[in-house]
Amino acid sequence: MQKKIQSALISVFYKDGLEPIARKLQELGITIYSTGGTQKFLEDLNIKCVPVESLTTYPSILGGRVKTLHPAVFGGILGRRYEPQDLAEMKEYNIPEIDLVIVDLYPFEETLRTTTEEKLIIEKIDIGGPSMIRAAAKNFNDIVVIAEKDQYPFLEKLLKDQKGETSLEQRKDFAAWAFDVVKRYDTAISNYFNPGTKQVLRYGENPHQKATFYGDLKRFFTQLNGKELSYNNLVDVDAAVQLIHEFRDTKEKVFAIIKHTNVCGISQRKTVKQSWDDALAGDPESAFGGVLVCNGTIDKATADAINEIFFEVLIAPSFNADALEILKTKKNRILLQLQTSNFSLQSPSKALLNGILEQAPDERNYEKWEEVGGRQTTEAEKEDLIFANLVCKHLKSNAIALVKNKQLVGKGCGQTSRIDSLRQAIEKSKQFNFDLHGAVLASDAFFPFNDCVQIAHAAGIEAFIQPGGSVRDKDSVEYCMTNNLAMVMTGMRHFRH
């Protein structure tokens, strides 16, 4: 439904970028209502506007805190043009129809970055602005709402190309953007009033980057020792607890080492000490400066062994007193007791392109267990394949995990080619003297050709797990059948970018 803009209400904090829009509105004969500083700005440009006070019969009062909060303004925004009763009441009370609302909110976040003075910060909490934005967005059937100056170019083009007419779809898109603006604004204010949820970090991913953490770590961890967690610590700790969460129902002990969010060592054994020894053996070089995580109690023997290397963070559900005494000898070493009963996977989100991507957690290991090779997997191979697939799920794509006796013996990750990841994994295994005969391979995505299977087989691997889904799955399957190799297809891809 096309609608022509006849009137506009403009009330903005920052005036930059507003002039060409205001001139275009004037050129199209659109009545402009305005307030305070915005009114003066427009009048200085010889752009005619109607003071909001002429509608409300009240001046701007209380130091500017109240100027638009009035039925004459909100009636003009919220009035439904398709409801005869609304139109009759608007006529009775001399409320004009407002077709365009342009608001730029008080700079609350910018003020936080420049001062800690509470009085100045509180005065930058906009009240009328968010209310007008919400009202106009709610009434998108009749109104165009512009909620921040980043939208000015879109409005200017629309006014120029469509002569002030808008479609219902366009008005609804502006409304969706407006609600997001208000949500972000309210979140910033909420975070200010809930300081326990905001933590300014020493720096970000690199020393020249500022960073802030919004969240409640105490809900998941009790910090027993060490310095404040850094940005990179938090990222790796998140990767570590997501990985150990996979083994929450495992009776044996699992120890893992995380480096730059990738698993560089992991094993599953009867004791914590055995699990640590074999996790470290998988790649002792990469373990330097890593984040360690375990699903069992850290005892003295394990603490003695761990104490021999440099690491950033150790996470476990519990620590023996004598183990803590050993581990606390280095004051900066971060020890976190994980409240496993409180931990649950969150929906991962990522900010990009002036928006936010959100998705469901990557839960479960496999969708199906389809044996498609030249032979069935042995019981030992099946256990290793299940373990390897979980590990592979926590490596950056393209990912390959080589596992033998529930120990990671080689991995390749973050490569642009799956063959490169496989070669990297095989080289890692050779570097630390692992025999790949009897090992299994997990791939986070399908094999588009049979080259990976051939290369792995030449290195001694005889069992594979992969999601399948390639138009050339049969190439890898035929190679396995010809060479009596086991292959499982799971129907579940585990990309991690």
Contact 141, 166 (CB under 8 A): no
Largest CA distance in the chain: 89
Compute φ and ψ for 176, nearest 5 degrees.
-60, -45
Catalytic-residue membership of 497: no
Compute φ and ψ for 465, nearest 5 degrees.
-135, 135
Q: End-to-end alpha-carbon separation of the chain, Å?
A: 42
Residue with tokens 């992969």: 466
Identified catalytic residue from 138, 198, 245, 328: 138
Catalytic-residue membership of 437: no
User: Which pTM was predicted?
Assistant: 0.65
How do beta strands 3-4 and 7-12 pair?
unpaired
Identified catalytic residue from 24, 124, 198, 260: 260
Q: What is the pLDDT of residues 335-387, one digit of tens each?
A: 999 987 556 667 778 878 878 888 888 888 989 999 999 999 999 999 999 99
Residue 319's pLDDT is what?
Answer: 96
Environment class of 105 (CB within 10 Å of its CB; exposed 0-12, middle 13-18, buried 19+) = buried
Whether residue 288 has pLDDT greater than 90 = yes
Q: What angle do CA 97, 100, 104 make, to 5 degrees?
A: 130
Contact 235, 257 (CB under 8 A): no
Environment class of 156 (CB within 10 Å of its CB; exposed 0-12, middle 13-18, buried 19+) = middle
The pLDDT of 465-478, averaged and rounded, is: 93
Residue 74's pLDDT is what?
Answer: 77
Q: Which residues contact 426 (CB under 8 A, 6 or more apart)?
A: 402, 410, 436, 455, 456, 459
Q: What is the mean pLDDT of the chain?
A: 89
Q: Tokens representing 276?
A: 């640590």
What is the C-alpha to C-alpha distance for residues 223 and 131, in angstroms, rounded to an integer? Answer: 42
Confidence band for 468, pLDDT divided at 50, 70 and 90: very high
What is the C-alpha to C-alpha distance for residues 398 and 72, in angstroms, rounded to an integer? Answer: 60
